[in-house]
A and B are shown apart, each in its own frame.
Chain A
């Protein structure tokens, strides 16, 4: 015991120890979205309000009358994360609270698909909110249906293996960059310091800030719960999910330059949703990653 304590003292804490999210939440084992919330709140602190539409997180914080969170939450309609957050910010300002950070926190379905109109509207108006999309690449809360964030090749319950998704994932970062909002960042639960740093930076920027956070889902990806962080790290290291920032929609800054980018195979192999893919399809995925990486290293936004 005493040895363990001694060992612990040697760690350098790179993130604040404060937790604004308690245990007792309802997430599945190995849920990436839950870690994403923890890291975000460590950066934003207690003076934060969340607007959460229909998504896994509509359930994770706990059923009425409970909440596992130490910040207030407004559970809003599926397509309204950005518009509800817009109203909350205006309402707080008009009642004398200009300090609180208002966050719209939505899944990929609520962002890439049904919520994109409200998000585009808020971004065009440059509303003073942080919009975070935690991306698990399908409608996981309803039971793994394809969204426009589902990647090429993936199985979901609405893209069975004989009819797997044959269109690429929508490039939400490029879409948001086209709105010329002050700040866009991608982040991964495998790189909490990077995530924390960017969220801290975003907190002090005024206007619409957009985060695309990679959040593996063992339930929907048919992966092992203890592989969640590993998968997230692999996606960063093979260039599938590059860590980047875009300011004012102009130029991409890659936060992690990869000298030896790993092939995508190992990453795909750890996930049951890609089990049916042959070398031909894997080559399509690899080519897509390579082409995008090439563009990003030149500073392009898409």
Chain B
């Protein structure tokens, strides 16, 4: 069934089709419609779930953790300040191995107050033990929520499904809503091996000395390392059933490219317009959209970069004192490998400033004029 819906509602539909059993959430612009629609679905019986209307995002994540350890499939959604308030509990969900799926609408961090897009909110959470999927269309949002539950529950690692504020959250697109019966086949009910129940009284998360703690974290890392293959495998399985493959990266015209933009989120689709125009003017351009940030798809990034002569990594975020965050990760992916191109880092679109095709053309012109990677980070469209 095809439906026109906004990005936020795509998250709601993803949770509904996944048959989330407990939803606990707090309103925040620009995420609010996600939970509005879910609360309607819960009240009219479209979705058989308990909706806990908590008093803060911190309590939202805490109660999601409680519900998850009790054995329920659990969903929430937030954005920006709300995600930051959850920070402690994100570590708790990751370290405690609770496979919660959360939608996060990328919104800039205050101050000054901003409700517009950039990625500093979610990227600040990169070390919390969550998988992070960055989406670029509403179709991808619905599909990814369903896939995220499957991967999260297989690995007992929580997952964030992320979309840009307004550029995606409030943009209406046609979505092919997956058939519920087929989703049920793809994503069977959540049956954790161990849960919080009087029938099997265990203590979860107690005092853990130096003789055990490191092993628990080692297991988290080694399980996270299994995620790239599992995301691709479940992505292909999804493709067989629904006709849309879901992968770690999404390359566009990269095979014969000399120069590529490396992007994430919706900026990638703008980059593709620029790619097509650059190709018309004789530049063999391409775009590598990185969809999964954690685990970082090192192998897939290297495969694409190994074929091009130069790459510009465009970040809608900044790690102050070190520059763009995707730039750092891409650099680390090719470190010490022969035959890799120079990388140049660009920062654009903070606080919701538009990243246009002209922005990408400016980036291309700057990058092509340089013959080596430079330490300096180039800010695009900034008034100096």
CB of A85 within 8 Å of the partner chain: yes
**Which of A75, A87, A125 sits near B22, CB closer than 8 Å?**
A87
For chain A, give the interface size range.
35 or more
CB of A100 within 8 Å of the partner chain: yes
Q: Which of chain A's residues have a CB closer than 8 A to the CB of B202? A: 67, 72-73
Bound-complex Cα distance A93 to B206 (A)? 25
Question: Is there an interface contact between B53 and A75, defined as CB atoms closer than 8 Å?
Answer: no
CB of A83 within 8 Å of the partner chain: yes
Bound-complex Cα distance A100 to B88 (A)? 28
Bound-complex Cα distance A79 to B92 (A)? 13
Q: Which of chain A's residues have a CB closer than 8 A to the CB of B81? A: none
**Which of B55, B59, B60, B69 sits near A88, CB closer than 8 Å?**
B69
CB of B103 within 8 Å of the partner chain: no
B181 to chain A, nearest CB (A): 21
Question: Is there an interface contact between A94 and B55, defined as CB atoms closer than 8 Å?
Answer: no
**Which of B24, B55, B74 sits near A124, CB closer than 8 Å?**
B55
CB of A74 within 8 Å of the partner chain: yes
Question: Is there an interface contact between A91 and B22, defined as CB atoms closer than 8 Å?
Answer: yes
Among the 9-residue stretches B207-215, B303-311, B325-333, the one with 4 or more Cβ atoms under 8 Å from chain A is: B207-215
Q: Do most interface residues of chain A lie in helix, strand or loop, or is the interface mixed?
A: mixed
**Which of B56, B203, B212 sits near A67, CB closer than 8 Å?**
B203
- Given A67-B203, A72-B198, verify A88-B50 contact (CB < 8 Å): no
A119 to chain B, nearest CB (A): 10
CB of B201 within 8 Å of the partner chain: yes
Bound-complex Cα distance A117 to B55 (A)? 8
- Given A58-B206, A63-B206, verify A91-B69 contact (CB < 8 Å): yes
CB of B67 within 8 Å of the partner chain: yes
CB of B71 within 8 Å of the partner chain: yes
Q: Which of chain B's residues have a CB closer than 8 A to the CB of A125? A: 52-53
Question: Is there an interface contact between A46 and B207, defined as CB atoms closer than 8 Å?
Answer: no
Question: Is there an interface contact between A86 and B52, defined as CB atoms closer than 8 Å?
Answer: yes
Question: Is there an interface contact between A71 and B66, defined as CB atoms closer than 8 Å?
Answer: no
**Which of B50, B60, B207, B209 sits near A94, CB closer than 8 Å?**
B50
- Given A87-B63, A94-B21, A120-B55, verify A72-B71 contact (CB < 8 Å): no
Bound-complex Cα distance A70 to B198 (A)? 8
Question: Is there an interface contact between B52 and A90, defined as CB atoms closer than 8 Å?
Answer: yes
A63 to chain B, nearest CB (A): 4
Q: Which of chain A's residues have a CB closer than 8 A to the CB of B22? A: 87, 90-91, 94
**Which of B56, B195, B197 sits near A121, CB closer than 8 Å?**
B56
Within 8 A of A (CB), among B182-208: 195-198, 200-208
A132 to chain B, nearest CB (A): 16
CB of A192 within 8 Å of the partner chain: no
Q: Which of chain A's residues have a CB closer than 8 A to the CB of B52? A: 86-87, 90, 125
Bound-complex Cα distance A72 to B200 (A)? 7
Within 8 A of A (CB), among B92-138: 92
**Which of B21, B49, B196, B208 sits near A49, CB closer than 8 Å?**
B196
Q: Which of chain B's residues have a CB closer than 8 A to the CB of A76? A: 62, 65-66, 92, 205
Q: Which of chain A's residues have a CB closer than 8 A to the CB of B207? A: 58-59, 62-64
Within 8 A of A (CB), among B37-96: 49-50, 52-56, 58-60, 62-72, 74, 88-89, 92
Contact residues of A with B, CB < 8 Å? 46-49, 51, 58-59, 61-67, 69-77, 79-80, 82-95, 97, 100, 117-118, 120-121, 124-125
- A49-B70, A69-B203, A121-B56 known; 13 new pairs, CB 8 Å cut-off, are A62-B206, A62-B207, A64-B207, A67-B201, A71-B198, A72-B198, A74-B205, A75-B205, A80-B62, A84-B63, A89-B66, A94-B72, A100-B198
13 inter-chain pairs at a CB distance below 8 angstroms, sorted by A residue, are A64-B208, A66-B203, A73-B204, A80-B59, A83-B58, A86-B63, A87-B22, A87-B62, A91-B70, A91-B71, A92-B70, A117-B58, A125-B53
